[in-house]
Every structure is written in structure tokens, then in C-alpha cells.
Amino acid sequence: MRNQTSDTEFILLGFPVAPHLQLLFFMSFLIAYTLVVLENVIIIMTIHLHKPMYFFLGNLSFLEIWYVTVIVPKMLADFMTQDKRISFQGCMAQLYFFVTFVCTEYILLAAMAYDRYLAICNPLRYPSIMSNRFCAQLAASCWVCGLITAAIKLSFIAQLRFCSIDTINHYFCDISPLLNVSCTDSSQAELVDFILALMVIMVPLCIVVTSYICILFTVLKIPSSQGRQKAFSTCSSHLAVVVLFYSTTLFTYARPKAMYAYNSNKLVSVLYTVVVPLLNPLIYCLRNKEVKDALRKAKLGTRSTGEHS
């Protein structure tokens, strides 16, 4: 028997953890989530958004706060209760915002790569090209593309029929696990998801690769080793973030739904939903001299204000 789709509830299996380990997992993910939020809030509050690199970094930090908030609180609640149900509407909302943030991050990382390309390969024209207005338009375009892509994907998935209670072998509502439990033919939704995933991943990836090839050739032409090191240090943190994010998501969202048949994919998902957002702020703080200087100045400014008061 099937109820109406709006009455459908899903059961998120989550992680098959022994009862005595649930509290340990709960505390580990709670600490990770708290650190992600704190790290990104600190970056947003301390950097100066008038510089293009900082402006895009602020957007990335803002995105990742909501990116993990869509997933982790529900996962934490499921660790502490036996009721792991989520309504159809709640599942669709979680899926929509998660896909929006993932797609936006792909495009935003490409925009940041283009920014580094202009800064290193065309420094004389960089201030005129990367104006405040253009940066705002570029960032807004990233968000709009993410919203539209998620809306298209969700419009096909929401039309599918599901049984009254479906069990999802995952810890959040992702596309492929949902397609696996559909009671109707999901081939069209799967095809749309696959095509859009390729577009959202491969087009930004091509921009990133092309930008860094140009950057590499430009850096190699710099005569002094100190100059080469300084030029590369301005983009090494971004490159590290790109490698982490793309490597953990590429084979997940550019493959058909069959790969979700195994529990090991949950571990891969943890990398890009929790671990990567946790590491990204640390990478920028440790590997980017300008960001470290901005944080240091903000710390000194706070200390002097406290002493003055």
C-alpha cells in the first residue's frame, strides 16, 4: 500500500554504531560541527571583505556554515534517539539546500581560481577587472546557479512516488539514496541528475585547471625564487581546498546511483560534509600569509581595545 507522497516518511539508517559507541560518535561530530562554525565565523569577522580574495573567502565561509548545518544537526539527533524518521517535506528541504550549497561551492571555487589567475597573470589590470561590483556579481551568479541547479534536480525527484515508509541507507537525504528507494521508474531523474552533476562539476573544474596551468607558466617565468614562492603562496591554500573538495565529491556526484549500494560511501560522504569544511579554514589560516596577517591584526586590535578599556 502507498500513501500520498506528501504523507511519506523516510527512515535514515545512518551509521550502524553499537549502543555503547553512540555517545562517542555524537561527541565527535558535535565537536567537529562546533569547530566548523567557530572557524568560519572567525574568518568572516576578521577579514576585510573589500579585497576580492577576502570577499570570496567570506562567501565560502558563510556557505560552509550553512552547508554543515543542513546535515549535521539531524545526524546528531539521530545518534541520540531511536526515532530516525524524517518527513517527505523535511527530506526535500534538506536535499534542496544541500545540493544548493554543494553546487554553489563548485562554482565559487572556480571564481576564486579565476581571481588568482588575474592577480598573478594579469596584475596590472587586476584592480580594474576585479572591481567591487564585478566581485558581487560573480558571487551572486555562483549562488543563483546553485539555487537553479538544485531546483531543477528537485523538480524531477519530487515527482517520483515513494512507499509509505522507505528506508534510506544514508545519514541524510542525498539524491542517489532517494532514487534507490523510489517505487516508480527513476531513470529520467537519474539522467537529469547525472547530466547536471557533470556540468556543475566539470565546467568549474576546467576553469580551475586552466587557471592553474596559466598560473604555473607565469610563476615559472619569475626570475627570483623568492618571487616565485611569494606568487605561489597566494594561491596554494585555494589549490589545497580545491583538491580536497573535488577529490571527495567528484566520484560521488559524477556517477550513477548504483555506487550507493555500499556502506563505504557513507564514509566518503563524511569527508565532504564534515571533514573538508573543518579543514578549509585551517588551510587558509596556515598556508595563506595575507589571511594569517589579517587574523593577527584582528587579534592585536582586540587585545589593545581590551587594554584601553
Q: Any idea what DSSP says for residue 15?
A: -
| Cell 592553474 belongs to residue | 212
Q: Mean pLDDT over residues 223-248, rounded?
A: 82
For 160-198, write each residue's pLDDT tens digit.
888 766 788 888 998 888 888 888 888 898 889 888 988
For 106-154, write each residue's pLDDT tens digit.
999 999 999 999 988 888 899 999 998 999 999 999 999 999 999 999 9
For 78-116, write each residue's pLDDT tens digit.
888 888 888 889 999 999 999 999 999 999 999 999 999
- Strand order of the β-sheet with 85-87 is 85-87, 9-12, 165-168
Largest CA distance in the chain: 73
- Which pLDDT score, from 0 to 100, does residue 2 have? 44
- Percentage of the chain lying above the pLDDT 90 cut: 34
301 SS3 class: helix
Kindly report the pTM of this predicted structure: 0.87
Are the CB atoms for 220 and 200 separated by under 8 Å? no
Exposure string over 217-251, b if 16+ CB within 10 A, otherwise e: ebbeeeeeeeeeeebeebbebbbbbbebbbebbbe
How many other C-beta atoms lie within 10 A of the C-beta of residue 113? 24
**Topology of domain 5-308, per CATH?**
Rhopdopsin 7-helix transmembrane proteins (1.20.1070)
Question: In one letter, which amino acid is 124?
Answer: L
Give the residue from 13, 1, 299 showing the smallest Cα distance to 172: 13
- Taking each helix axis from N to C terminus, what angle separates 72-79 and 19-46, rounded to the nearest 10 degrees? 160
SS3 percent helix, strand, coil of the chain, rounded to 5, is 75, 5, 20
Answer with the residue of higher pLDDT: 251 or 244.
244
Angle at 244 between CA 145 and CA 172, to 5 degrees: 65
Q: Sketch the domain layout of the chain as residue ranges.
A: 5-308
Distances (CA, A) of 300 to 57, 159, 220, 223, 305: 21, 55, 36, 36, 9
